[in-house]
Structure 1
Amino acid sequence: MRNERAVFLYEKYIKNDLSAEEQLEWDNLGLDLDNDQVFQKLVDSFWDSKNEDVPGMDATHVSNVEAYILAQPQPEPKYEKPLIKKLWTRIAVAASFLTVIGTSLYFYTSKPANNIDRTLSQAKDIDPASNKAYLTLSNGKRISLTDASNGNIAEQTNVQITKTADGQLVYTIAENKSGSSSRLEYNTIETPNGGRYEIALPDGTHVWMNAASSLKYPASFASLKERRVELQGEAYFQVAKDKQHPFIVKTAQQEVKVLGTRFNINSYGDGPDVKTTLLEGSVNVSNLNGKNSKILIPGQQAVVKGDDIKIGEADLDQALSWKNGDFVFNGEDLKAVMRQIARWYDVEVEYKGEVDVSGIVSAFPRNKKLSQLLKALEASQNVHFKIEGRRILVMP
């Protein structure tokens, strides 16, 4: 797309004057443009329109784009080009999504920045989650994958475990030179609060693990009729196709059986239910309490609660936001939001007084510091935060 076309669409966007066809073109802008100069020119236009009275501008509509920028402290001079260039890709993607779900964003506010409590900026800030995990082998040996050097980190019966340069754990089946049968061994990988990790299982299945999660799996599937793993917490699975050996994910409340597909399971113990979201293929979700099962098709989500299974249309942006590097809230209450924040930033949350905030609809990048996210919440919700070490005090 030519630079002039991009700027033309942007100028119509901030005036809320896009046709249906132009709106679709604008929504796809972040995927079509790879020229940083275009991004910078659009961002320059954003700050100009924000600081000047632009006739016909719809401030509520503009808040879709402002969401990410306003969550950052405005630098001096009025913008800092390197920071904005890094943020623009996420701004464009967020605009596409938030245009669909509405404009009631808690990141857009007319409150002056100096009205936000200084205790957040003065406190020692907390970094987001990073590649942190522990691998427990079948013999009980526990390995910190954060500290382990790249390369071969362990060997089991006919299996070599390697840590790659990008922090991924990979299992490789070695040749059984002795000709003897392999002994069945189980490993467990755990991510702590403030951690995440990616693993390639022996069958080629890729698993992305969210914070505070664990996965137990065989070191080799070679002698097994089915590929069974056990999950606590949240993970995204991209299962290697093998019609002869079904892949089964067991949690405390359900089992999900697949042949080859992509799906996400959220099964944190502090939540009221277990959610399975399907992107590709087909899965059979069985409720271990109610002894009933349902089949999902792509775009659907199964919610297991008690002895019931409910099937509905999935909000894919929300379900996969953690894997895509974002927080996406679509109607959550504050305590549900704070549970996610606690796991991602490895903090404790304490409530002081009655705090009743619900219907939060917004998005925020997960690679930002804790204070930036809390400032964005404070700016528009009837809530106040104070950081004390690794504890967040939540007050009306």
Structure 2
Amino acid sequence: MEQSSIQELYIQYLTGVLTVDETRELEQRLETDERFRQQWELLKQEAEALGASAYLQRIDSAAVLQRIKFKRKTNFQVYKLLAAAAVLLLLSVGGYWFLHQPPKEKSIPVASLVTHKAVQLESNGATIQLADDSGQHTIALKNATINAAKGSMQYASLDTSLNTLSVPAGQTYHIRLSDGSEVWLNASTRLRFPFHFTGKREVFVEGEAYFRIAADARHPFIVNTPLTAIQVLGTSFNVNTYQPNKVKTALVDGKVITDNRKGQLEELKPGIQADYTNGEGFSTSRFDPEEVLSWKDDIYYYHSKNLAALLEEASRFYGIRFTAVEDLPASQTVTGLMDRKRLEDFLSDLKTTAKLNFTVKNNEVQVHL
């Protein structure tokens, strides 16, 4: 077993995610495999000598997460490993050691809170709720015919007035526009668009969305955000406006030019993300497509995120309100992932490692130390 694999197993052991059977297998391996036992003892000695804080700081959490993402793609039965990554705390002060942590509890009563609101379409003064089921639905409006199935819609119409598609927290949605372009909308996102384009193709987005634009050199496609405008031909890209006064545009393929409506332009190549911050302008960097687009698969990766920001993200991602009833340590950060289908595992991991407690009250999850 490679050293990095042993370290991942050691992290699982420390964070208490091993089952009884897995723990028994580990004990047998320690008794029968001398090379494995020696490597294990070296990790244990290093951890005990440094203490939890220093040891966890030395772990390359980004590298571990990359390895876990690869394993997740090749083996969907490794959720225990994912859970271990999700609780890799990078503590700058203090710490807590989990050498003899009991099995995690799975009794946080949150399932009843997952009551998603309907996706809504506002068109020509009417508001339509799009059903969240697997059946096909045809909705006849005065100005359009909507065909909707679970999590997706397309339509037929010649109406050029703007409509608004609103996706609530905890959900995603897909729409095919009249020109054949496709848009995937993340939680808490709004898209304003016409049923029918005439000349310039133009939409408005707030939140996060992934666009796959149909090529049409004669008719540029414009994506407007609260701070920028993105000029597109045929291309795929992600745009994120969740943070106030900031827009992130990540180009997957093709070509886009994003501008701040004040004459400042940034032309992107595939694999490059442009971050526009109000008052500071543009900055560019390479991005990991799997991380940026993971929300489309109901996964969210996070790096060195403080607990307050993580709970805010969790509220939007799961569609459940998380409220801290007392100040959380600003110096404590976490690297890992959230899986929209595994809310209780996410909470159990934070309870084990960050020593957070959760109480369900007034239709929200209250968080306290």
Distance 1:387 1:353 in 2: 15
1:333 alignment partner in structure 2: 306
**How does the TM-score come out when normalised to structure 1?**
0.69
Distance 2:320 2:260 in 1: 32
2:253 alignment partner in structure 1: 280
User: Displacement, 1:339?
Assistant: 1.7
Distance 2:210 2:217 in 1: 20
1:161 alignment partner in structure 2: 146
1:349 alignment partner in structure 2: 322
User: Displacement, 1:126?
Assistant: 4.9
Distance 1:218 1:93 in 2: 45
Distance 1:122 1:129, change over 3 A: closer
1:150 alignment partner in structure 2: 136
Aligned residues: 320
Distance 1:184 1:384 in 2: 51
Distance 2:251 2:21 in 1: 39
Does residue 250 (structure 1) correspond to residue 224 (structure 2)? The answer is yes
Aligned equivalent of 2:88, options 101, 105, 115: 105
User: Displacement, 1:44?
Assistant: 12
User: Displacement, 1:128?
Assistant: 6.0
Distance 1:366 1:267 in 2: 21
Does residue 203 (structure 1) correspond to residue 182 (structure 2)? The answer is no
| Deviation per residue, 1:317-339 (Å, 9 max, x gap) | 32112112212012222222212
**Match of 2:78, SS?**
helix
Distance 1:385 1:110, change over 3 A: farther
1:140 alignment partner in structure 2: 125
User: Displacement, 1:291?
Assistant: 3.7
| Deviation per residue, 1:243-267 (Å, 9 max, x gap) | 1111111111111111011111111
Does residue 233 (structure 1) correspond to residue 207 (structure 2)? The answer is yes
1:218 alignment partner in structure 2: 194
1:1-396 correspondence runs (5 A): 14-15=5-6, 49-50=25-26, 52-54=28-30, 55=33, 56=36, 88-89=75-76, 91=78, 105-106=88-89, 110=99, 112-113=101-102, 121-126=107-112, 132-137=118-123, 139-146=124-131, 150-155=136-141, 157=143, 159-164=144-149, 166-172=150-156, 182-221=158-197, 224-268=198-242, 270-271=243-244, 273-288=246-261, 290-307=262-279, 308-355=281-328, 356-369=330-343, 371-396=344-369
Is the contact between residue 172 and residue 296 of structure 2 (CA under 8 Å) also seen in structure 1? no
1:26 alignment partner in structure 2: none
Distance 1:122 1:360, change over 3 A: closer
Bigger drift between 358-367 and 303-312 goes to: 358-367
Amino acid of the residue matched to residue 187 of structure 1? N
Distance 1:257 1:44 in 2: 55
User: Displacement, 1:93?
Assistant: 12
User: Displacement, 1:272?
Assistant: 5.3
**Match of 1:195, SS?**
coil
Amino acid of the residue matched to residue 372 of structure 1? D
Distance 1:44 1:394, change over 3 A: closer
Distance 2:98 2:212 in 1: 39
Q: Percent identity?
A: 25
Is the contact between residue 239 and residue 259 of structure 1 (CA under 8 Å) also seen in structure 2? yes
Distance 1:86 1:321, change over 3 A: closer
Is the contact between residue 349 and residue 394 of structure 1 (CA under 8 Å) also seen in structure 2? yes
**How does the TM-score come out when normalised to structure 2?**
0.73
**Match of 2:154, SS?**
strand
RMSD: 3.9
Is the contact between residue 123 and residue 388 of structure 1 (CA under 8 Å) also seen in structure 2? no
User: Displacement, 1:309?
Assistant: 1.1
Structure 2 unaligned runs (5+)? 8-18, 44-58, 91-96
